[in-house]
């Protein structure tokens, strides 16, 4: 019995000693984990100064030559080679022949009609000298100056009723206008450049048969182009003819000054925009080139322009008040792809100038260039 009691007591003592030793060991371990520090984010700010902000409307489009001609054949024949190859990119001066269609057969018929007219006029000369000698001299001069290789000259002016009846009865007027009609059609066998420019499209080649009504190509004047852009109807009252417009290419390597030359009087019902035509000149420009236009529509008074990324979803912006972030309501009046024009921001207000990740109202921040209060950081 005594041995049993001693064994129990000895076990209890061992348990107590083990518990005490474990507590000592646990308490002796040092906590080496660093205590988390409160992080204060640094923000960039700007002081608001309201003023006049120009509203710049950005629009884009492709250049189109201001003067262009689509070439069509009005007669039929074989396309004959000219002084220059009829190929895209070929330049021509004003008056140079673009297209020459073989007209040898038709030319012969024109010459035959002119010869018949000349014979008619010549045949009336004896009767005219006897019956109407007062009109003989001008008709004699007409016969002398008549040249089959040149354009048919205008008939002498008829000054009396008797002369009119005499000339009409001989069929001279009918023959004359028949010849002029043939000459007009003969001129259609050749197409000359109406202005200096370049051929942009060629649909036929030398030696091919050209049919009446067939499209032959396109010819444009280089150096003067128009840019067609669509702007919101809100700014229709501010878009006036003659306004200067800044134009740039996609790479921002070229800059040109354009001028508003036309404003469409109709609003597009689908997009609610108005078409504006801008004229621009430049030797480096090409038709079809993509340009971006910046139109100075109007000026917004008592406003400020900031990055669009700083505007919150509920039309608010962050401000800094005593190292604490806060939000204020604003009134956005115009948006671009990168900027926004705001109103209702008091002068002297300190607003965030660069976005802050995870920002919220009441957040403790440090303004760039200043030191944070040490007590507030603890």
pLDDT tens-place string over residues 124-148: 888 888 888 888 889 999 999 999 8
Going by pLDDT thresholds of 50, 70 and 90, the confidence category of residue 373 is very low
Write out the residue range of the structural domain in which residue 163 sits.
105-187
Q: Is pLDDT at 56 greater than 60 in this prediction?
A: yes
The mean pLDDT value for 208-234 works out to: 90
Going by pLDDT thresholds of 50, 70 and 90, the confidence category of residue 249 is confident
Q: 36: burial class by Cβ within 10 Å (0-12, 13-18, 19+)?
A: exposed
Residue 75 belongs to domain with CATH number:
2.40.50.100
Q: Contact, 339 vs 308, CB < 8 A? A: yes
175 lies in the same domain as 213: no
For a pLDDT cut of 70, what percent of the chain falls above it? 90
130 lies in the same domain as 94: no
194 lies in the same domain as 98: yes
- Domain membership of residue 32 (yes or no) is no
Q: Is pLDDT at 377 greater than 50 in this prediction?
A: no
The mean pLDDT value for 41-51 works out to: 88
- Domain membership of residue 36 (yes or no) is no
Rounded CA Rg of the chain? 46
98 lies in the same domain as 205: yes
Among 28-42, 74-88, 261-275, 295-309, the range scoring the smallest mean pLDDT is 28-42
- Domain membership of residue 85 (yes or no) is yes
Residue 362 belongs to domain with CATH number:
2.40.420
- Domain membership of residue 256 (yes or no) is yes
Q: Is pLDDT at 29 greater than 80 in this prediction?
A: no
SS (H, E, C) 36-88: CCCCCEEECEEECCCEEEEEEEEEEEEEEECCEEEEECCCCEEEECCCCCCCC
pLDDT tens-place string over residues 255-304: 999 999 998 888 888 888 889 899 999 888 999 999 988 877 778 888 99
Q: Is pLDDT at 32 greater than 60 in this prediction?
A: no
178 lies in the same domain as 293: no
The count of domains in the chain is 4
Among 23-32, 252-261, 344-353, 368-377, the range scoring the smallest mean pLDDT is 368-377
Res 28: pLDDT: 61
Q: Is pLDDT at 216 greater than 90 in this prediction?
A: yes
The mean pLDDT value for 13-27 works out to: 70
pLDDT tens-place string over residues 159-176: 888 888 888 888 999 999
């Amino acid at each position: 019995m005594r041995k049993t009691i001693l064994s129990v007591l000895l076990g209890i003592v061992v348990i107590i000693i083990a518990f005490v030793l474990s507590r000592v060991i646990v308490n002796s371990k040092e906590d080496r984990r660093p205590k988390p520090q409160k992080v204060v984010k640094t923000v960039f700010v700007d002081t608001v100064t309201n003023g006049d902000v120009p509203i710049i409307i950005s629009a884009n489009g492709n250049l189109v030559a201001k003067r262009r001609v689509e070439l069509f054949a009005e007669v039929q024949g074989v396309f004959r080679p000219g002084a220059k190859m009829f190929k895209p990119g070929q330049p021509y001066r004003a008056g140079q022949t673009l297209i020459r269609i073989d007209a040898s057969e038709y030319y012969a018929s024109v010459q035959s009609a002119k010869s018949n007219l000349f014979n008619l006029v010549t045949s009336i000369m004896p009767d005219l000298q006897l019956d109407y000698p007062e009109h003989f001299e001008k008709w004699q001069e007409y016969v002398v100056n008549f040249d089959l290789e040149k354009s048919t000259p205008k008939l002498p002016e008829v000054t009396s009723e008797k002369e009119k009846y005499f000339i009409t009865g001989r069929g001279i007027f009918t023959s004359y206008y028949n010849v002029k009609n043939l000459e007009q059609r003969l001129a259609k066998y050749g197409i000359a450049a109406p202005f200096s420019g370049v051929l942009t499209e060629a649909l036929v080649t030398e030696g091919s048969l050209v049919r009446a009504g067939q499209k032959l190509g396109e010819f444009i004047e280089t150096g003067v182009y128009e840019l067609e852009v669509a702007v919101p109807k809100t700014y229709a009252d501010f878009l006036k003819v003659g306004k200067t417009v800044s134009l740039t290419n996609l790479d921002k390597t070229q800059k040109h000054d354009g001028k508003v030359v036309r404003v469409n009087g109709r609003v597009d019902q689908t997009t609610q925009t108005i078409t504006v035509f801008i004229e621009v000149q430049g030797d480096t420009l090409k038709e079809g080139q993509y340009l971006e236009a910046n139109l100075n529509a109007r000026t917004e008074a008592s406003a400020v322009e900031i990055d669009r990324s700083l505007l919150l979803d509920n039309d608010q912006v962050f401000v800094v008040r005593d190292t604490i972030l806060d939000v204020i309501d604003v009134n956005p009046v115009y948006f671009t792809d990168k900027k926004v024009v705001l109103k209702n921001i008091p002068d002297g207000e300190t607003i965030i100038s660069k976005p802050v990740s995870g920002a919220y109202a009441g957040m403790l921040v440090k303004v760039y260039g200043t030191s944070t209060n040490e007590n507030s950081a603890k």
